Amino acid sequence: MARKKPVFFRILKSIFPSKYSGRDWKGQPLLALIAVFLCVIISPVLAQAPPVNFAAQDSTIRQDQTQYLVQQGKKLYEAGQFTLAVKFLQQASAAFRTQGDSLWEAMTLSNLSLALQHLGLWNRAEKAIAQSLSLLNDMNNSQERSKILAQALDVRGRLQLSQGQGETALITWQQAADIYQQIKESAALTRNRINSAQALQVLGRYRQAKKILTEVLQTLKNQPDSPMKASGLLSLGNILQVVGDLKESQYVLEQSLALAKALSFHQFVGAILFSLGTTTHAQQDTKTALHYYQQAATASVEPITRTQAQLNQLSLLIQIKQFADALVLSSQIESEINNLPPSRMTVDAKINFAESLMKLADGKGEDKATSPSLLGRSAQILAIAVQQAQSLLDKRAESYALGTLGNLYEINQQFTDAQKVTERSLFIAKSIHASDIVYQWQWQLGRIRKLQGDIKGAIAYYFEAFYTLQSLRSDLVAVNPDIQFSFRESVEPVYRELVALLLQTENGEQSTQGGVKGFNVQYPESQKNLRQARLVMESLQLAELDNFFRSACLTPKQELDPVIDKKDQQAAVLYPIILPDRLDVILKLPNQKLRHYKTLITQDQVERVVEELRGYLRDVTRTSQVKQLSQQIYDWLIRPAEAELSTSGIKTLVFVLDGELRNIPMAILYDKQQQKYLVEKYAIAVSPGMQLLDPKPLQQVKLNTLAAGVAAERVIEDREFPPLEHVPRELQQIQSEVPKSEKLLNHQFTENNLQNKLGSAPFSVVHLATHGEFSSDPEKTFILTWDKLLKVKEFNNLLRVSDTNRSRSIELLVLSACKTALGDKRAALGLAGVAVQAGARSTLATLWSVDDESTANLMSKFYQQLNAGVNKAEALQRAQLAIFAQEKSPYFWAPFVLVGNWL
pLDDT at 29: 29
pLDDT at 45: 46
Mean pLDDT over the full length of the chain: 84
Distances (CA, A) of 517 to 576, 631, 640: 19, 15, 9
Residue 155 pLDDT greater than 50, yes or no: yes
Q: Among 62-66, 419-423, 853-857, which is the least confidently predicted range? A: 62-66
**631 vs 68, higher pLDDT:** 631
Q: How far apart (Å, rounded) are the C-alpha atoms in residues 237 and 276? A: 9
pLDDT at 64: 77
Residue 348 pLDDT greater than 50, yes or no: yes
Q: How far apart (Å, rounded) are the C-alpha atoms in residues 242 and 37? A: 12
Answer for the pair 240, 547: CB distance below 8 angstroms, yes or no.
no
DSSP letter for each residue of 382-438: HHHHHHHHHHTT-HHHHHHHHHHHHHHHHHTT-HHHHHHHHHHHHHHHHHTT-HHHH
pLDDT at 481: 52
Q: What is the pLDDT of residues 269-279, one digit of tens each?
A: 999 999 999 99
Q: How far apart (Å, rounded) are the C-alpha atoms in residues 765 and 784? A: 18
Q: How far apart (Å, rounded) are the C-alpha atoms in residues 18 and 889? A: 67
For the ranges 297-301, 472-476, 624-628, the maximum mean pLDDT occurs at 624-628
Q: How confident is the model at residue 51 (pLDDT cuts 50, 70, 90)?
A: very low
Residue 571 pLDDT greater than 90, yes or no: yes
Q: Among positive and negative, which fits the CA dihedral 165, 167, 171, 177?
A: positive
Q: How far apart (Å, rounded) are the C-alpha atoms in residues 579 and 661? A: 13
Q: How far apart (Å, rounded) are the C-alpha atoms in residues 798 and 758? A: 8
Could you tell me what percent of the chain has a pLDDT over 90? Answer: 53
**Helix then strand then coil, % of the chain, to nearest 5:** 60, 10, 30
> Residue 758's closest CA among 789, 795, 709?
795
Backbone φ and ψ of 525, nearest 5°: -65, -35
Instruction: Tell me what the mean pLDDT of segment 546-557 comes to.
Output: 72
pLDDT at 637: 98
* Burial class of residue 848 in the structure, from the number of CB atoms within 10 Å of its CB (0-12 exposed, 13-18 middle, 19+ buried): middle
Backbone φ and ψ of 39, nearest 5°: -95, 20
pLDDT at 552: 65
Answer for the pair 159, 472: CB distance below 8 angstroms, yes or no.
no
> Residue 595's closest CA among 574, 570, 581?
574
Instruction: Tell me what the mean pLDDT of segment 806-815 comes to.
Output: 77
Answer for the pair 290, 261: CB distance below 8 angstroms, yes or no.
no
- The CA-to-CA distance between both ends of the chain, in Å, stands at 51
Backbone φ and ψ of 64, nearest 5°: -65, -40
Q: How confident is the model at residue 81 (pLDDT cuts 50, 70, 90)?
A: confident
Q: Among positive and negative, which fits the CA dihedral 504, 509, 515, 517?
A: positive
Instruction: Tell me what the mean pLDDT of segment 774-787 comes to.
Output: 90
DSSP letter for each residue of 712-743: S-EEETTEEE---TTHHHHHHHHHHHSSSEEE
Answer for the pair 813, 831: CB distance below 8 angstroms, yes or no.
no
Answer for the pair 352, 313: CB distance below 8 angstroms, yes or no.
no
Answer for the pair 654, 572: CB distance below 8 angstroms, yes or no.
yes
> Residue 432's closest CA among 883, 58, 121, 875?
121
Q: How confident is the model at residue 433 (pLDDT cuts 50, 70, 90)?
A: confident
Q: Which region holds residue 40: left if phi is over 0, alpha if psi is between -120 and 50, else beta?
A: left
Answer for the pair 443, 461: CB distance below 8 angstroms, yes or no.
yes
Q: How confident is the model at residue 526 (pLDDT cuts 50, 70, 90)?
A: confident
* Burial class of residue 321 in the structure, from the number of CB atoms within 10 Å of its CB (0-12 exposed, 13-18 middle, 19+ buried): exposed
Residue 391 pLDDT greater than 80, yes or no: yes
Strand partners, 741: 705
